[in-house]
């Protein structure tokens, strides 16, 4: 069974540009969550999508957005990139919405560097 696949693995962008990250969940999983990981702030929740609907959102500015397609694949977009957006962006999938009985399976992340 294939795991969570994130593309691309590495990305270098310039301040002011926008970027789109992609996540393919485990087959059969309908929930996709996105997290940002930085050395200073650790892992922070961005948002969760379930059946193409945003279920939950973290405390990030509106420059961060996402969507989920009918096949459960998800994309995350960051517009007007800032240096502080440099981070590892992790996608996680679960069978149903994040809960005790529906554990998360993480991908290996996309490393975004903003220069």
What is the binding site for another protein (CB under 8 A)?
A: 4, 33, 35, 42-45, 48, 55-56, 58, 90, 92, 96-100, 102-109
Residue closest to 84 by CA, chosen among 60, 65, 53: 60
Q: Choose between 56 and 79: whose C-beta lies nearer to another protein.
A: 56
Q: Choose between 66 and 107: whose C-beta lies nearer to another protein.
A: 107
Parallel, antiparallel, or unpaired for β 53-57 and 5-7? Answer: unpaired
Nearest approach in angstroms of CB 49 to another protein is 12
Nearest approach in angstroms of CB 101 to another protein is 9
Q: Residue 83 and residue 48: Cα distance in Å, rounded?
A: 24
- Largest distance between two CA atoms of the chain: 41
Q: Residue 22 and residue 48: Cα distance in Å, rounded?
A: 14
Q: Choose between 14 and 39: whose C-beta lies nearer to another protein.
A: 39
């Amino acid at each position: 069974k294939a795991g969570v696949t994130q593309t691309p693995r590495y990305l270098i962008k310039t301040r002011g540009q926008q970027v789109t990250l992609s996540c393919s969940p485990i087959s059969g999983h309908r929930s996709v969550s996105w997290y940002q990981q930085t050395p200073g702030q650790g892992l922070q929740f961005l948002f969760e999508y379930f059946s193409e609907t945003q279920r939950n959102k973290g405390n990030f500015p509106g420059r961060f957005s996402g969507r989920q397609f009918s096949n459960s694949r998800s994309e995350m977009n960051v517009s007007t990139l800032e240096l502080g957006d440099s981070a590892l962006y992790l996608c996680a999938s679960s069978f149903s919405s994040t809960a005790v009985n529906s554990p998360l399976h993480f991908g290996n992340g996309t490393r975004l560097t903003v220069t």
